[in-house]
């Protein structure tokens, strides 16, 4: 057997060993780079957009239900004249198969103003769907925060009829999340 053939066989055996031990990523473990855009809209007690409101943003990457190392990002911004603030973060997400079963990564985000807090998240499956095989996804989500004291109909319930609601209705709350962009 020639030296080149022997070297080829050794490389093949080492590569297969590395794949089976999890040292090389399989197709399922290739990262999808996600750019997450979180748009925050803030209203006052009269339902008017609030300009200059400080907004705090925090995101954490998870593997399964466990936070991933030091993947915490915290940012602060202020709402613009239309009551909006926007946060953009980027993460690489994988479906980790090293445990013998797939554990998809995800990112949870929380936004808050003085008196109202809400959250949105996104995960590997959503990113994979958005990426369409390209390995890159841009996911936009909207969060509406309402300063305490103002009541509005629940945007998350498509069946909610806000025309005859009062502030004691269970479909009312001070903040809402995960609205379609």
CA atoms within 13 A on the CB side of 75: 17
pLDDT, one tens digit per residue, over 86-110 is: 999 999 998 877 777 788 899 999 9
Residue range 155-181: average pLDDT?
A: 41
pLDDT over 50 at 135, yes or no: yes
Q: Indicate whether this model's pTM tops 0.85.
A: no
Buried/exposed code over 42-62 (b: 16+ C-beta within 10 A; e: otherwise): bbeeeeeebeebebbbbbbbb
- The enclosing H or E element of 172 equals none
pLDDT value of residue 100: 79
Angstrom distance (rounded) from CA 137 to CA 84: 23
C-alpha pair distances (Å), 157 with each of 43, 109, 144: 19, 21, 14
**Amino acid 149: pLDDT:** 59
Query: How high is the pLDDT of residue 170?
Result: 33
The secondary structure element, H or E, covering residue 163 is none
Please, which pLDDT band fits residue 126 given cuts at 50, 70 and 90?
A: very high
For 31-157+172-179, CATH number out of 3.30.70, 2.60.40, 2.60.120, 2.20.25 equals 2.60.40
128, 122 Cβ separation under 8 angstroms: no
CA–CA separation, 21 and 100 (whole Å): 10
DSSP state of 152: B
């Amino acid at each position: 057997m020639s030296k080149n053939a022997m070297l080829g066989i050794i490389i093949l055996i080492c590569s297969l060993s590395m794949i089976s031990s999890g040292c090389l990523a399989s197709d399922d473990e290739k990262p999808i780079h996600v750019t997450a855009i979180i748009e925050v809209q803030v209203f006052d007690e009269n339902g008017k957009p609030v300009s200059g409101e400080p907004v705090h943003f925090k995101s954490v990457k998870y593997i399964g239900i466990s936070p991933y190392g030091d993947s915490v990002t915290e940012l602060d911004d202020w709402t613009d004249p239309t009551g909006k603030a926007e946060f953009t973060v980027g993460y690489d997400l994988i479906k980790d198969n090293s445990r013998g079963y797939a554990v998809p990564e995800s990112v949870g985000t929380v936004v808050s103003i003085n008196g109202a807090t809400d959250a949105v998240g996104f995960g590997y499956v959503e990113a994979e769907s958005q990426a369409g095989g390209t390995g890159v996804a841009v996911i936009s989500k909207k969060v509406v925060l309402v300063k305490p004291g103002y009541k509005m109909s629940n945007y998350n319930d498509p069946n909610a009829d806000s025309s005859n609601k009062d502030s004691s209705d269970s479909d009312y709350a001070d903040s809402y999340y995960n609205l379609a962009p």
